[in-house]
Structure 1
Amino acid sequence: MRSLLLSLALLIPLAPAFGQDQLFDTHVHLWNGEASIKDYQAQLKAANRSVDAFGAMWFGGPNQALAGNPADIRKRNDRLIALAAKHKDMIPIATVHPYDGDAALAEVDRVAARGVKLLKIHPHTQKFDAADPRVLTLVKRAGAAGLIVVMDNANILPGDSEKLFNLALAAPKTKFIFAHMGGMNFRFWNILALARTAENLFAENIYFDISASVILAANSPIEAEYVWTIRNVGVDHVLLASDFPQISLPKTLEAFAKLDLTDEERAKIRSGNARKLLGL
């Protein structure tokens, strides 16, 4: 019995370390399909890293998902789903354009039926206004279909974060991941600490990835404020992400390691939160 208890005691300190080894990158762009996956894997191998899973989308960079060509969007979504079937660690992130109306709504239903869990739309790349009523219609439909909506939140233009906040409030049954956590406007999101005090206002449906912004914040004069924001929005609602190929995951992890977070907080952000959100 003493030997058994000693063995168990020796294993206990290893639990946090194991959690720290798990990685889920929720923001990867496959500009060149299979070739992009090989490039992503090569970067990880060169840095002696690996991921348990990564969320990948086809659009961005040279690949556009503009309004007026829903048939092309559908075709590209199918290619992405096929890649995910081949790469078991890949979580497909489909897209539509809100201004494609009924065609976009139909595509939301179709990809959801095919097992897709994430839908990415980007106001600036796709040239739409996040405050347009068609966007609200789309994200509500996505939420009803069980899709989590990923939206860019680098706060490229003044008011971007405010529009996303209002969108999430208007669609409380839809879960959102706002990429980049507001960029250099991350301070805005501390408003969520107050939103939670208003009865029936905030449905806790906003999550954030920290791609790009974490690199600017780490080892900088704003680092403490950035960590403060992570805790105010809720550590359970923050996800690790790279934004590959613009930024590598090893570079993101190097910055993330500099933040003054506990081991438990790190484990949640690195993998645990994404797994829980996606039901993995």
Structure 2
Amino acid sequence: MKIIDSHVHIYPDKIAHKAVQSIGDFYQLNMEMDGTLAHVLSRSAEAGITRSLVHSVALTWERTEAINNFIVASVQAHPDRLTGFGSVHPDHPQMEKVLDGIVDAGLKGVKLHPDTQFFHLDDPAAIRLYEAMAERGLILLAHTGDHRYPYSQPERMARALDKVPSLTAICAHFGGWSIWNQAWKVLAGRSNVYVDTSSSLYAITPEEAVKIIHRYGASQVLFATDMPMWDPVKELERFNRLDLTEEERELILYKNFERLMGETDGE
């Protein structure tokens, strides 16, 4: 069976160590990977992962160009293994130009992390960004949920989606990291909302994970590791412990991703 990882952070080799250390400090977790593209490719192959959705985050708008250039170069070097999302900050003075560049480069969407970019998911500037993304057919991958911060609360994502119903969004971490059962109450049942499994299976029981998957529906869930935070072999072991049907596994591991991204790789 094909396996697609829909949530992978990568960094240039020269800054990967510092970036990974910063993420570990932010979440007070031990990071299991080194954040380099080479490590992602090698360990993903060992895990049997056939394709990965890679991205990075523009913490400030000034970093946007360098980050997007790195993602584009990585995808172009490994088109058979990687799908890419760009990044932008809602406050970027040339936001629409950046989005046009993302489209022209063949990237499929935009990754945002409100808790580290310091904006609320339903800020007016963010709404303008979502509208521009929807006009261009770009998919949003948003970090959602953190009990410590107000920026990424799932209720804010729900309000934003109410304002921009044409936007397709992947709400990471089952829609709300650390507040999983709060998230599905406002995000489940929306045909334009997908969630991924990243940074969740380590913290909740297999039974809880299955209940959350069924709340959203298996057709709206994507398998994801959140590398470099977690080792993909271990994440797949966690996923394989879930009591799911074969059809549900196929949907989550690759079919939903292929439908969403319009990509179909051979078995």
Output the TM-score relative to the length of structure 1: 0.79
Equivalent residue number for residue 197 of structure 2? 210
Equivalent residue number for residue 181 of structure 2? 187
Alignment match of 2:235 (pick from 248, 252, 259): 252
Contact kept, 8 Å, 2:194 with 2:221, in 1: the verdict is yes
Equivalent residue number for residue 23 of structure 2? none
- Aligned partners of 1:153, 1:55: CA distance in 2, in Å? 17
- Aligned partners of 1:132, 1:275: CA distance in 2, in Å? 31
Kindly name which structure, 1 or 2, has the bigger radius of gyration based on alpha carbons.
Answer: 1
Contact kept, 8 Å, 1:65 with 1:95, in 2: the verdict is no
**TM superposition outliers: structure 1 runs of 4+ over 6 Å:** none
1:37 lines up with 2:37 in the alignment = yes
Alignment match of 2:122 (pick from 125, 128, 131): 131
1:153 lines up with 2:114 in the alignment = no
Equivalent residue number for residue 269 of structure 1? 252
Equivalent residue number for residue 21 of structure 2? none
Sort the Cα spacing of 1:24 and 1:242 in 2 relative to 1 into closer, same or farther, 3 A. same
What's the offset of the Cα at 1:158?
A: 6.2
| 1:98-109 pair list within 5 angstroms | 98-101=90-93, 103-109=94-100
Equivalent residue number for residue 16 of structure 1? none
- Aligned partners of 2:53, 2:147: CA distance in 1, in Å? 23
Sort the Cα spacing of 1:162 and 1:192 in 2 relative to 1 into closer, same or farther, 3 A. closer
What's the offset of the Cα at 1:41?
A: 2.5
User: Partner letter of residue 185 of structure 1?
Assistant: I
User: Cα RMSD between the aligned structures?
Assistant: 2.0
- Aligned partners of 2:141, 2:237: CA distance in 1, in Å? 24
- Aligned partners of 1:44, 1:81: CA distance in 2, in Å? 19
What's the offset of the Cα at 1:192?
A: 5.6
- Aligned partners of 2:13, 2:164: CA distance in 1, in Å? 32
What's the offset of the Cα at 1:119?
A: 0.5
Counterpart secondary structure, 1:56: strand
- Aligned partners of 2:184, 2:117: CA distance in 1, in Å? 28
Counterpart secondary structure, 1:124: helix
Counterpart secondary structure, 1:99: coil
Equivalent residue number for residue 166 of structure 2? 173
- What percentage of aligned pairs have identical amino acids? 26
Equivalent residue number for residue 26 of structure 1? 6
Q: Cα deviation per residue 1:84-128 (whole Å; 9 max; x = unaligned)? A: 111011111100000124x12220122112211120011011111
- Aligned partners of 2:44, 2:222: CA distance in 1, in Å? 18
What's the offset of the Cα at 1:164?
A: 0.9
Q: Structure 1: give runs of 5+ residues left out of the alignment.
A: 1-20, 197-201
Equivalent residue number for residue 227 of structure 1? 210
User: Partner letter of residue 161 of structure 1?
Assistant: P
Contact kept, 8 Å, 2:198 with 2:226, in 1: the verdict is yes
Contact kept, 8 Å, 2:11 with 2:37, in 1: the verdict is no
Equivalent residue number for residue 58 of structure 1? 56
How many residues end up aligned between the 2 structures?
239
Sort the Cα spacing of 1:33 and 1:54 in 2 relative to 1 into closer, same or farther, 3 A. farther
- Aligned partners of 1:36, 1:183: CA distance in 2, in Å? 24
Q: Structure 2: give runs of 5+ residues left out of the alignment.
A: 15-34
User: Partner letter of residue 83 of structure 1?
Assistant: S
- Aligned partners of 2:181, 2:147: CA distance in 1, in Å? 15
Q: Cα deviation per residue 1:216-239 (whole Å; 9 max; x = unaligned)? A: 12xx3xx32331221121211100
Contact kept, 8 Å, 1:192 with 1:232, in 2: the verdict is no
What's the offset of the Cα at 1:33?
A: 5.3
Equivalent residue number for residue 5 of structure 1? none
Deviates further, 238-247 or 27-36: 27-36
